[in-house]
Amino acid sequence: MSLRCVTCLCFESRIKWVVDTYFKGEISSGKLTFRIINAQETKNAALVKKLGVVGSQLFVNTIIDGADHIKNIEEIWYWKCNDDPPGFNEKVRSVIAQSLEGKF
């Protein structure tokens, strides 16, 4: 069992809240999928390798014509998840909305 930092836990809960709040229709229709992946579980090894996961990260994958366009949202660490939840939420919402519009 791994211990996760306060910021990592914040990422998970805030991103899940944003998806549940703003993208219910896209989730229901299958246009958007959302998964929390534990990189330490062997069942996720292939995906971890494909993405190059090294810790708590947010990846957005826009699929266009069957091709993956994976973006690691590295700036998430500067969005102040714990100190500015509304600002963090808006940045996450914006990144997901842009992906859904094919802007990756």
Per residue in 17-74, pLDDT (tens digit) is 999 999 999 999 989 989 888 888 899 999 999 888 887 888 888 888 888 888 899 8
For residue 56, the 8-state DSSP code is: S
DSSP 73-98: -GGGGGS-TTT-HHHHHHHHHHHHHH
37 occurs within a structural domain: yes
For residues 81 and 88, what is the distance between their CA atoms, to the nearest angstrom? 5
Instruction: Please give the tally of structural domains in the chain.
Output: 1
1 occurs within a structural domain: no
74 occurs within a structural domain: yes
Token pair for residue 72?
Answer: 């690691």
For residues 47 and 53, what is the distance between their CA atoms, to the nearest angstrom? 8
12 occurs within a structural domain: yes
User: Do residues 62 and 104 make contact, with C-beta atoms less than 8 angstroms apart?
Assistant: yes
15 occurs within a structural domain: yes
Q: Which of 27, 49, 48, 30 is CA-nearest to residue 39?
A: 48
Domain that holds residue 30: 6-100
pLDDT of residue 2 exceeding 70: no
Token pair for residue 91?
Answer: 């940045």
> Can you tell me whether residue 51 is helix, strand or coil?
helix
